[in-house]
Structure 1
Amino acid sequence: MAVIILVVAAIDQATKAIMLAWLEPGVPVPVIGDWLRFLLLFNPGAAFSMGENSTWLFTTIQLTFVTGVAIAAPRIRYRWQALGLALIAGGALGNLLDRLFREPGFWFGHVVDFISVGGFAVFNIADSAITVGVVVFVIAMFVDERRKVDA
């Protein structure tokens, strides 16, 4: 799990560094017309920029989650649950690093977002990992519950 968490966070931070060097904030760069484009934004809130005045709360939640997964990891028995939690924790760690070390300052930093799909929210690799991780974890929970019922 630790390897997955660190790889996800590293890929997230590397892609953010590339986009920060390449893109101008707020200037879209089409990849597939208007459907997929790169658009550099700095998000103080959560998904869809909700909670813009609660950056400290999201930082605290992400730190707590990553720490909790690290503590619980040795007791997680099911591979797919572990994968889901590792993807979520890796994404949380990627965004946590932004909140800790980016402007406007420690604990209140804004998350770098740059992937824009259609009229949907602008997001990053960490957000994608969190979303995929939640789907994997929920499916794993249902499959594992089904195994218990069938046993």
Structure 2
Amino acid sequence: MTLGGISAGTLWLALALLLGLAELLIPGVFLIFLAVAAAITGAATLALPDLPLAAQLGSFAIWSGVTVLIGRRWYHDYPVATADPLLNDRAARLVGEIVVVEQAIEADGGRVRVGDGVWPARGPDAPTGARVRVVEVDRGVLVVEPIAALTPS
């Protein structure tokens, strides 16, 4: 099968090259897996020039799934080290922060001011204006303790 005199295998390899370049320009560790799948499909199409288009597309789909699963496993086993592992976890970044009680914390909870926003909070009773420390984040609710409770005695 050819398109304008170019074999399907060559087109698949060109697609693999384009996907690889796109991964370099827009890094996201995803397009590279599709590039590998396209390269495998291109090699198979060069080896079997009469491979129907449906089989080529099926090959690409299967190899895309396989390479993405291999990539996921790889990044799970060998995570990328970062200087700021909590960069995209705003809630986890709040642990240890000292915040001000905006709405008194009582048995049913309250609210605390974090920067220019207000978050729901729970913990020991604390009056409005009290300073408390965030010790945990539980499903979007800040768990706080009075600062005095955390100072060594």
TM over 0.5: no
- The structure having more radius of gyration, on CA atoms, is 2
Task: Report which structure shows greater RCO (CA 8 Å, sep ≥6).
Answer: 1
Higher strand content, 1 or 2: 2
What TM-score, normalized to structure 2?
A: 0.30
Query: Of Structure 1 and Structure 2, which has the larger fraction of its residues in helix?
Result: 1
TM-score (norm. length: structure 1): 0.30
